[in-house]
Amino acid sequence: MTRLIVAAGGGGDAVAAAMLHTALYGDSDQAVILTYAWDRLLIDPVPGPRGADDFTGLEPLTPAVWKVSAEARPIPPAGSTLPRLAAELPHTIALIDPRHGAEGITRQLEDLVTRLRPTSIDLLDVGGDVLARGDEPTLKSPLADSLTLAACCQVNAPVRLLVAGPGLDGELSYEDLRGILGPLVHTFTAADTEPISKVLEWHPSEATGMLAAAARGVRGTCEVRDAGLPIPLTDESPTLHEVDLDEAVSRNELARALMSTTTLDEAEALSREVCGFSEIDYERNKALWLKEQRPVKLDAELVLPQLAQFEAEARSRGVTHTTFRHLTEVLNLNGSQRDDLRRLLINNRPEQFTAPLWRIPAGTE
pTM of full prediction above 0.75: yes
CA distances from 156 to 111, 150, 211, 285 (A): 11, 13, 31, 39
Between CA 302 and CA 79 the distance in angstroms is 29
What 3-state class would DSSP assign to 151? helix
Residues listed for the chain:
365
Encode pLDDT of 230-248 as tens digits. Answer: 999 999 999 999 999 999 9
pLDDT in tens, the chain (365 residues): 799 999 999 889 999 999 999 999 997 778 999 999 999 887 899 999 999 999 999 999 999 999 999 999 999 999 999 999 999 999 999 999 999 999 999 999 999 999 999 999 999 999 999 999 999 999 999 999 999 999 999 999 999 999 999 999 999 999 999 999 999 999 999 999 999 999 999 999 999 999 999 999 999 999 998 889 999 999 999 999 999 999 999 999 999 999 999 999 999 999 999 999 999 999 999 999 888 877 778 989 999 999 999 999 999 999 999 999 999 989 988 888 999 999 999 999 999 999 999 999 997 66
Between CA 249 and CA 147 the distance in angstroms is 11
Encode pLDDT of 135-146 as tens digits. Answer: 999 999 999 999
Domain ranges of the chain: 2-258, 300-359
Between CA 252 and CA 216 the distance in angstroms is 32
Encode pLDDT of 328-365 as tens digits. Answer: 989 988 888 999 999 999 999 999 999 999 999 997 66
- φ/ψ of residue 364, rounded to 5: -85, -10
Cis peptide before 183 (omega within 30 of 0): no
In the DSSP assignment, the letter for residue 297 is P
CA distances from 146 to 182, 279, 295 (A): 19, 12, 35
Distance, C-alpha 207 to centroid of its chain: 6
Between CA 113 and CA 96 the distance in angstroms is 14
Q: What share of the chain is helix, strand, coil (3-state, %, to 5)?
A: 45, 20, 35
Between CA 113 and CA 4 the distance in angstroms is 8
Between CA 100 and CA 79 the distance in angstroms is 21
